[in-house]
Chain A
Amino acid sequence: MVTAEQVWAALDGIPDPEIPVVSLVDLGVIRSVDVRAGHVHVELTPTFLGCPALEAMKRALEETVSALGAAPEVEVIQDDSWSTDRITPAGREKLRAAGFAPPAPREASAPTLVQLQASVHRCPYCSSTKTRLENIFGPTPCRSLRYCESCRQPFEQFKTI
């Protein structure tokens, strides 16, 4: 009989489909794991609602749970419970090492332009805070583009959600 700990460990081996340096557990999108009589119920929270990777994540979760010999039930939770604050400390460090600046902490209300332009964003390559916003949008909706004026390197900044 599989335990919740074994399931969590197995899910930590699933890479994020878009940024495979982090696992789904690092990303904080697994809200809960509940083991009941051979069934494993997993609550998955999307990062962005339009994220095309959601179906791939769901399938990978189902396959991983099945490989443990249990019946998977993956439920997608569409509320505000996922935030970039749920990315684990290990996940943030893996992102930074791969050249993605981790997101700033979430505030009580949704961010505004003034906050975005005023807040400190650190270059993931040289740690300088002399960086500027180039584009609110980047290669995927979850990232912005910034430019580091110290090491002259453009980089991707995770949006705070």
Chain B
Amino acid sequence: MNELLLSLADDELVIGWRDSEWTGIAPLLEEDVAFSSIAQNEIGHARAVYELLADDADALAFDRPLEEYRCAPLVELRLLDWAHTIARRWLYEQADELRISALMQDDDARVAGLAAKINREEAYHRMHAELWRERLAETPQFRTAVAELWPHALGVLPAEQRGALAARVELEEVDPVERGTHSAELAELWEEMTMVRRSAPAGAQW
């Protein structure tokens, strides 16, 4: 299986779940709406990529043991304050644009076509993140959040794309928090995310 695509799909699935956690409790009603739509898009992207990789997207999304997920530590974090949430959205979209742009040039036409479609939708996530970054940029809470999450953001991308990320967000490259190990927070999320399928009787139809 294509590791790069599986990483991308797992990132999108897990950040979609994390974004959806603001539904109903965001600080502004408009953000309730925005985060719900963003989460829906991200999970839709995950599904489309899983469908490229396997016949049963749901099985790939929900029937794997925890250690087989390839998501980056950045998306796993359960962030409870707004500055960190926005810092992650901004850093994640900046990194995501670089890898999606690279996939738009992929030799496999199905991968390139899907990447182009995803990029059209992500453009609105980037705008949303940019508007919030402009509002929060000068606050100490946001600066602290960016500094804390920056090593995690680098870990979203393969090594050869990290320099480009550092240049576009104007931060120095540091030691990244790499993919491959999972936080305890992901274990909790996995329990929640897979519970319905695990508890269903064998042969259940949805």
Contact = CB atoms under 8 A, between A and B. Distances in A.
A138 B30 CA distance: 8
B40 A141 contact: yes
A79 B116 contact: yes
Interface in B111-144: 113-114, 116-124, 126-128, 130-131
- Main SS at interface, chain B: helix
Contacts, number: 86
Contacts of A78: 48, 51-52, 110, 113-114, 117
Contact of A79 (B30, B117, B122, B123): B117
Interface in B50-69: 51-52
Interface in B82-116: 109-110, 113-114, 116
Contact of B130 (A48, A83, A113, A140): A113
Given A49-B45, A49-B121, A80-B117, A135 B51 contact: no
A161 B121 contact: yes
Nearest to A159: B124
- Main SS at interface, chain A: loop
A138 B123 CA distance: 15
Interface in A103-122: 110-113, 116
Contact of B30 (A48, A50, A111, A134): A134
Interface residues of A, number: 27
User: Taking each of B48, B118, B123, B130, which has the highest tally of chain A beta carbons within 10 Å of its own beta carbon?
Assistant: B123
Contact of A137 (B37, B42, B109): B37
B30 to A, nearest CB: 5
B18 interface: no
B131 A48 contact: no
Interface residues of B, number: 34
A142 to B, nearest CB: 9
A136 interface: yes
B117 A135 contact: no
Given A135-B30, A137-B33, A141-B121, A113 B127 contact: yes
Contact of A48 (B41, B52, B110, B126): B41
A79 B113 CA distance: 4
Contacts of B127: 111-113, 116, 136
Contacts of B120: 80, 83, 110, 161
User: Taking each of B114, B118, B124, B130, which has the highest tally of chain A beta carbons within 10 Å of its own beta carbon?
Assistant: B124
B151 interface: no
A19 interface: no
19 contacts: A48-B121, A49-B45, A50-B41, A50-B43, A50-B45, A51-B44, A78-B48, A78-B51, A79-B113, A80-B120, A110-B119, A111-B124, A137-B30, A137-B124, A138-B37, A139-B33, A141-B41, A145-B30, A161-B121
Interface of A: 48-52, 78-83, 110-113, 116, 134-141, 145, 159, 161
Given A79-B117, A136-B131, A137-B124, 11 more contacts: A49-B118, A50-B44, A80-B116, A110-B120, A112-B127, A136-B128, A137-B33, A137-B34, A137-B38, A138-B37, A141-B38
Interface of B: 30, 33-34, 36-38, 40-45, 47-48, 51-52, 109-110, 113-114, 116-124, 126-128, 130-131
